[in-house]
Each structure stands twice: as C-alpha cells, then as structure tokens.
Amino acid sequence: MSNETIIKFSDVSFAWEAKRPILDEANFSIRRGSKITLMGQNGAGKSTIFSLIMGDSEPDSGSVNISHNVTIATAKQIILREDLSLTIREFFEKCFVKKVYNIEVKIDEVLKIVNLHLKQDRIVKSLSGGQQARLLLASALIQNPDVLLLDEPTNNLDKAGIEHLTQFIIKYPKTCVVISHDADFLNSFTEGVLYLDIFSKKVEQYTGDYFSVVEEIRVRLEKERMKNSRLEKDISHRKEQANFFAQKGGHLRDVSSKMWKTIEKLEEEKVDVRREDKTIRDFTIQAQEDIGGVLLELNSVTIVKNHKFVDKKVEVRLGKRDRLLLIGPNGIGKTTLLEKLASGHAKSEHIKEGLQISYYRQDFSNLDFNETVYQTISKVTSASEQNLRSHAAGFLIDSEILKTKIGLLSEGQKGLVAFAKISLQKPGLIILDEPTNHINFRHIPVIAKAINEFEGAIILVSHMSDFVEKIKIDQTLDLGKFL
C-alpha cells in the first residue's frame, strides 16, 4: 500500500436542506491501495460521502480533493428505476461517457467475475434482487477504477455470492471503500475505518481491522461515560457547597462566585456523549383478530431453471403462528413468488377470505416515495398525534424525519419506516423479503424479537443466518432442490 493520499476531505460541510446537515467541517484522507470501511448509523450520511467523492454533490464549504487522473466508480445500493427497463448491455453502456468498442467481451468477462451467467439482452427488471446486486457490482468493476466505492454490496447476495465478493476485494490491488452492516464480511479485508458520527457530523479516522476498531470505539465511549460520571458527581458536590456559601453572605459569597466559575469550567470538560449506539425500542406487531384455520395454502411454485420458467408441485399450509422460511439460490424466483403471494396471484394459491397481509419489500417499492414519512404512517393508524409521534420515535424517526419525503431517506431509514408501518397494520400474515438489508446491526435483535413474538403467520426470505436463528421456523421450502 502506498502512502500517497488520493482523496482528501478538508473542513467539508454539507447539508441536503438547511435543517438536514450531514457533515460539519469533516476532515479525513484515503491512501492509494487501502481497504477502508465507512461506518455510521442509518441516515448519518455515508452514501452522501460517496456522492461527494464521485462529484455528484458539491460541498457547501471546504474542499474534496481527488488526485489528478484518479478514476472512481461506485456500486450503488439499488438500481435506478429508470434503468430497470434497460437490457444488461444497455445498462453497462450507461457506465461510460464515450462509446466502448468490444464492450460485449468486457461485459462477459466482468459477469464471470461476479458469478453471473446471463444473456446480455436480458431486461434488468427481470433479474432477482441478488442478481441485481451482482450487476451493480459488475457495473463498477467494468470501469476498472483506481477507487472502488461499494455501498452495501452484500445485500441480497447468498452465501456463495458473499464469499466470492470477499475474495475479490481481498485480491483487488487498488483502493476500495465499503459501506456495509455485515461485520464478518468487513473484518475480512478492512485495514482502516472512517467513522461518521450522526450527531457531531464529524468523521473520525481509525487504523486496524473492523472488529478491533469497533472495540476501540466501544472502549472510548465507555471512558467518555466514566469521565462524565466523575465530573457530574464533582459538579453536584461543588454546587451544593457553592449554594451553601452563597446563603451565608459576606466573603463567603465571593468564595461561592469563584466556585461557580470552577463549575463552569468543569461543565466544559464534560464530553458530549455520543448517541451513535442508539437502538430502536422494543416493539410488538399485533396480529389480526378473529382469524384462524388455514390462512394460506400453496400447491405449486414457479422457478427459473436454465433461463426457463418451470412449475413444481409443493405442499405448504400456513395456520396462525406458522412460520415458513423460503430458501434457494439467487435468481431462482424467491422474490417473484413473494410478490405473487402478497398480491394473491400465485399459482395454486388459496388465501383465507379477509386475511390481512403486510409485505416488507426489499426495494421498498410499496412505499410512496413522494409521501412524507408522517403521511405514510398516519394512513395506517387512527392513533392520536402524540401517540403516532411516540411510536415513530421508537424507530428513531424524529420530527424532522417525519416531515421528510420517503424518497429522500437512506435505505436503512426506509426499512425502519416499513417496520413502523407494519407494526400498526395488525396483519394476519407478514411476508418479509430480506428484512435485514440496509438495517443497522444494533436494530436486528429487536426486529427479530418482534417478528418471533408475532401471533400471526410469517413467510421469510433472509440470507442472514444470525437473524433467522432468532426466529422459530416451522417449515422450510427450498426452491433449490428443484434444480
């Protein structure tokens, strides 16, 4: 690794709106050939830092300096809606400003790297979530950049896909900056961490692997809390003395005045305890009342085999509190099946009349991106204004976020809004498609607990084994066995 700095943020401040500051005089640098993790709470502004590096956004003050002739490419979290109707070849052609000759050959080469076996005239929206994730990665790799920016690259990838990506990053000879909530994945290649504090709007720079930096931050936070605790005890004792002396009058008032100046200095020494480790509150999802028996019956599924749709017989029956885990490799048709089940259009599907279904879509396309968060949540509850705001606060949705349009939220914040909404809907069946994608790891145990305690039926797709293990699964449907 070279000592040459190729990206430098100098006193960078940035805000999307006057009341939504992201960075406040942030300073950090990235060296050539380094493998860096960018971490911070959902909505802190990690993706915004990528946007500033790419030049898609400009700082309000300060400067973002990129070394001359350094090329940068990014694998975004999701494919833009306007790109979903493109063919795979057209999607890759959009990655370049100028026409690239023999691009078909380059596309085939890069698809092999990400372990995708697809025809180039395939329409992007026909791909599964996992295939789209690999396509996004490939779109960055085909540019062969000096700096590779990866935003949640493991989302929707199966175990084999994550292992493949991990080995690629380890062997990648150039600079790589990664945003991810997958701790084991990050630890496999991280040499340093940029830590974006959502409250101070500063970026702290650490050296070391991911786990050692997380522990260093934890120890630092604990020291800050202990220091504050000692100072608060000292300040409290001095205030009692100062008040006592002030009441005595005479020269003791002068003593009291001096003591108050000392107290002010001690107050200034207190560290602003970072609330970065805030976690959503425990919540419950009330089940639909007066519904029982067989809620959903499924006698066949459609899978993708050798690029063709094939129907296969299955026997699935879900009653109250039954939980079905749906597994299979990327591209076999899991998300397509969930979409059809949620809409009642799956083949050989029988849904009990009156069954209320809540659907957590991995792309959040069932949320209206033009609505505010308040409008989205208020439509599913008759709760008072105060109770609605209290409910939202439990998901770290404050008054400013409530006024924000869904489309302007980070992917992690959209996920929390989706759970806030589901927890008010009183469904009889919840369909969950990769519900841990984009979600801060601190929130995942809370979400798993709420799902596990839900009294209705559940259909779950998740590549995160730690999350699945926290939920009692009654049935597993492996679509891969039909290949």
Tell me the DSSP string of 114-178. TT----TTSBGGGS-HHHHHHHHHHHHHTT--SEEEEESTTTT--HHHHHHHHHHHHH--SEEEE
272 vs 325, which has greater pLDDT? 325
184 & 47 share domain: yes
Q: What is the pLDDT of residue 270?
A: 62
Domain final position from 162, 194, 209: 209
Mean pLDDT of 231-235: 81
183 & 71 share domain: yes
Q: What is the pLDDT of residue 421?
A: 96
Report phi then psi at 31, rounded to 5: -95, 155
**Residue 323: which pLDDT band, with cuts at 50, 70 and 90?**
very high
394 & 461 share domain: yes
307 & 222 share domain: no
Mean pLDDT of 28-43: 90
Q: What is the pLDDT of residue 287?
A: 94
Q: What global pTM score does this model have?
A: 0.66
Q: Specify if 138 maps to a domain.
A: yes
349 & 426 share domain: yes
Whichever domain contains 35, its CATH number is 3.40.50.300
Mean residue pLDDT of the chain comes to: 88
197 & 331 share domain: no
Tally helices (H) and strands (E) across the chain.
15, 17
Helix axis angle for 411-425 and 385-393, nearest 10°, is: 130
Amino acid found at 141: L
Amino acid found at 474: D
193 & 233 share domain: no
203 & 345 share domain: no
83 & 220 share domain: no
Ramachandran category for residue 145: left, alpha or beta (phi over 0 → left; psi -120 to 50 → alpha) = beta
**Residue 393: which pLDDT band, with cuts at 50, 70 and 90?**
very high
The closest alpha carbon to 152, from 181, 116, 192, belongs to: 181
Residue whose tokens read 């029988």: 350
Q: Tell me how many domains the chain contains.
A: 3
Q: Is the pLDDT reported for residue 276 higher than 70? A: no
329 & 255 share domain: no
Q: What is the pLDDT of residue 272?
A: 55
Q: Which residues of 6-34 are buried (b: 16+ CB within 10 A; e: fewer)?
A: bbebeebebbeeeeeebbbebebebbbbb
* Whole-number percent of the chain with pLDDT over 90: 48
Q: What is the pLDDT of residue 347?
A: 72
Report phi then psi at 315, rounded to 5: -130, 100
Residue whose tokens read 């989205």: 376
**Residue 476: which pLDDT band, with cuts at 50, 70 and 90?**
very high
Q: Is 430 helix (H, G, I), strand (E, B) or coil?
A: strand
Q: Is the pLDDT reported for residue 277 higher than 60? A: no
180 & 244 share domain: no
Q: Specify if 274 maps to a domain.
A: no
How far apart are alpha carbons 26 and 11 in whole angstroms?
A: 5
Residues spanned by the domain of 373: 294-482
Q: Specify if 93 maps to a domain.
A: yes
Q: Specify if 284 maps to a domain.
A: no
Q: What is the pLDDT of residue 324?
A: 96
| CA-derived radius of gyration, the chain | 26
Q: Specify if 405 maps to a domain.
A: yes
Among the listed ranges 150-164, 192-206, 294-308, 323-337, which one has the minimum average pLDDT value?
A: 150-164
Q: Is the pLDDT reported for residue 419 higher than 90? A: yes
Q: Is 453 helix (H, G, I), strand (E, B) or coil?
A: coil
Mean pLDDT of 427-448: 90
Q: What is the pLDDT of residue 2?
A: 62
Q: Specify if 89 maps to a domain.
A: yes
267 vs 215, which has greater pLDDT? 215
* Whole-number percent of the chain with pLDDT over 70: 97
Parallel, antiparallel, or unpaired for β 203-207 and 192-196? antiparallel
Q: Which residues of 98-131 are buried (b: 16+ CB within 10 A; e: fewer)?
A: eeeeebeebbeebbeebbbebeeebebeebbbbb
CB 121 within 8 A of CB 88: yes
